Chains A and B, each alone.
Chain A
Amino acid sequence: MSATLFHKVWTAHAVRRLPTGQTQIYIGLHLVHEVTSPQAFDMIRARGWTVRDVARTFATVDHIVPTAAQRRPFADVMAEAMIEALERNCRAFGIPLFDLGSGDQGIVHVIGPELGLTQPGMTIACGDSHTSTHGAFGAVGFGIGTSQVRDVLASQCLALDPLKVRRIRVEGALGRGVYAKDAILEIIRRLGVKAGAGYAYEYAGSAIAGMSMDERMTICNMSIEGGARVGYVNPDETTFAYLQGRRHAPQGEAFARACAWWRSMASDPDATYDDEVVLDAARIKPTVTWGINPGQAVAIDERVPVPADEPEAGRAAVEEALDYMAFRGGEPIKGTRVDVAFVGSCTNGRLSDLREAARVARGRRVAPHVKALVVPGSERVRRAAEQEGLDAIFRDAGFEWRGAGCSMCLAMNPDRLAGREICASSSNRNFKGRQGSPTGRTLLMSPAMVAAAAIAGEVADVREMLP
């Protein structure tokens, strides 16, 4: 009987059918952070419960940490209260916390893989919609809310409905200066921001098979931006090579056993899918969003849409986005002046992302009117980048080199846009107000494109700037 990875993982973790008709699913790894957990801990305390499976629960701080001055107590009293609550809860229940300055801290979706916690065939839950990132390893990651964090803390289980599976094959090779970020932006542009509802996205095809784990994480990360709560790539030799030797990965002889099981969890070659979409990698260009949702994107050599040319049903949405962004329909995206450039986030804050941005920044200067910052995804990424001298390249070019955290992706810390500023951003959401100013504007793009925009002072084609 052939099956997809999603169905194999679902079946392996299914406890029982609940009286409501939902399925009780065991969660193999629960990642906790400071924003969506304090109320959940309070709820389990109030009900006299405890944390059921402490050995499968790990915590870090990422959303609220300042990235400029990380000394405690934080200047922001509320941020300090939140980190203290997490520290207290982790102590009280015996949950390991990768705290600030531990060497292991970072964005939850960056450190899970780095530490080898994220492994193929697992179910993973975290109170954050970008938990789909872990799917890059052939795990099934569910982004959940706080009451579900409570459920997982108390029972190590979730009540869920099964998903259909759509295979998205990206075939061929991406061109020079075209990255995983461009591929996922193109996928979302093509399928739309709500097409993934009810689906898990399985990313496949030769372009995905040729990608590094960092690149696969970028792809899976933004599944939710296409409406799919779950996205994954079947585990292969690239996956196993990444995991070998990591702290929480199986060691020695156990590693070979693990590889055999991981391989067995991949989708069977003759598995059937509820839907399939094929993209030609060679046709994907550097892609930039122009609107207020991640599906509103164009290639670097295209123009923002003209409302009158749009089908009537979509016209109002285009008008609303153009109005918010202050774009004229038909304007080229290239040449759009930017005020801020942000390299970082769980989408693109890993070492290879920083390397690509540094390739563009090396020996150049950030435009005088641009504030540019590089925020590594984790303390480990930061150290590795410093060992390679990337921090010096960025600093010499006029970028600020910061501590690890979510930072300006969602601006829960002091890193935020002011007024109507436009930000070239390697993050995942261009929603109204997302980057901290209620009227701020976001252009999503790859980290290399962000570096190019920082230097040119406007949206530029990175293919013209790569050495």
Chain B
Amino acid sequence: MSAERIVRVAGRGLPLRGDNIDTDRIIPARFLRAVTFEGLETHVFEDDRVQRPDHPFSSPAYRDAAILIVNANFGCGSSREHAPQAIQRWGIRAVVGQSLSEIFFGNAVTIGLPCVTAAPDAIDALMGLVESDPPAGLVVSLDELQIEAAGRRWPIALPAAAREAFVSGSWDATGLLLDRHEEVEKVRARLPYLRW
């Protein structure tokens, strides 16, 4: 099954400062009491937003943002896909950060939400830019591996496989995994524990 090709994401930025923002903060566990992902966006960062009225996700200035800018180890903790789902359903189309937790990154790939990394000074500059000029336009380019804003460009990084998956529209991996089942059978045949 092929998915949409994602080569370029353009839009406004949303700066969310702080390292180690975990998935319990992105979507508290009580909102996982559901059998669908519908409506998660209304609870994104809910507890943080209550405790911090100036939270960027509450600011009208960033309501139309498409590109989330974060610091280090974003999305650490629980493997709940509800976290990238909530962010994506809120309207975010790409995440740019100093670093991302591995599980969050993998979950984001499977739902077509590119997460790219940039150097700390680039993140700093982007956050500063968007804080002083929220409507500023940002362009994340996965083929050129750069982010462009206010006439400046910064390099971004993304593992080659994830980049290829987005650019070729194969980020929904199930189709690929179902493709050659005879090769899976070969692996099954060589694993002794399947028939002790």
The minimal Cβ–Cβ distance linking A439 to chain B, given in whole angstroms, is 7
Contact surface of A with B, Cβ cutoff 8 Å: 12-16, 18-22, 24, 26, 28, 35-36, 38-39, 42, 47, 49, 56, 63-64, 76, 78-79, 81-82, 85, 119, 121-122, 127-129, 131, 143-148, 150-151, 154-159, 161, 193-194, 197-198, 224, 227, 229, 250, 254-255, 257-258, 261, 293, 316-317, 320, 410-412, 429, 431-434, 436, 438-439
Residues of chain B touching chain A, judged by Cβ–Cβ distance below 8 Å, are 1, 18-20, 22, 24-25, 28-30, 32-37, 46-48, 50-51, 72-73, 76-82, 84, 99, 101-103, 106-107, 110-111, 159-162, 164-165, 168, 170, 172-174, 176-178, 180-181, 183-184, 186-188, 190-194, 196
Query: Is B29's CB under 8 angstroms from A28's CB?
Result: no
Interface centre among B20, B37, B181 (most CB of A within 10 A): B20
Secondary structure class of chain B's binding surface, majority of residues:
helix
Q: Which residue of A lies closest to B173 (CB)?
A: A159
- For B80, what are the chain A residues with a Cβ–Cβ distance below 8 Å? 35-36, 145
Q: Is there contact, CB below 8 Å, between B170 and A20?
A: yes
Pairwise interchain contact B79-A127, C-beta atoms closer than 8 A: yes
In the bound complex, how far is the Cα of B50 from the Cα of A463, in angstroms? 41
The residue in chain A whose Cβ has the minimal distance to the Cβ of B100 is A197
> Which listed residue, B73, B106, B162, touches A145 by the CB 8 Å rule?
B106
Bound complex: CA A317 to CA B188 (Å): 48
Taking A14-B187, A42-B35, A129-B78 as known contacts, 10 extra A-B pairs with beta carbons closer than 8 A to each other, sorted by chain A number, are A13-B187, A24-B177, A79-B33, A82-B35, A128-B78, A145-B106, A147-B110, A147-B172, A227-B76, A438-B50
Q: List 18 contacting pairs A-B, 8 Å CB cutoff, sorted by A.
A: A20-B173, A22-B165, A28-B191, A38-B35, A39-B36, A76-B33, A145-B79, A146-B37, A155-B177, A159-B177, A193-B73, A250-B193, A258-B192, A261-B193, A317-B19, A429-B24, A438-B47, A438-B50
Q: What separation, in Å, do the CA atoms of A293 and B22 have in the docked complex? A: 9
Report which of A20, A161, A257, A293 forms a contact with B20, defined as CB distance below 8 A: A293
Structural contact, A438 and B51, CB atoms closer than 8 A? yes
Are B177 and A154 touching (Cβ within 8 A)?
yes
Question: Which of these, A157, A261, A411, A436, contacts B192 with CB under 8 Å?
Answer: A261
- Bound Cα distance from A147 to B108, whole angstroms: 10
Q: A438 to B78: give the CA distance in the assembly, Å.
A: 17
Residues of B within 8 A of A320 (CB): 18
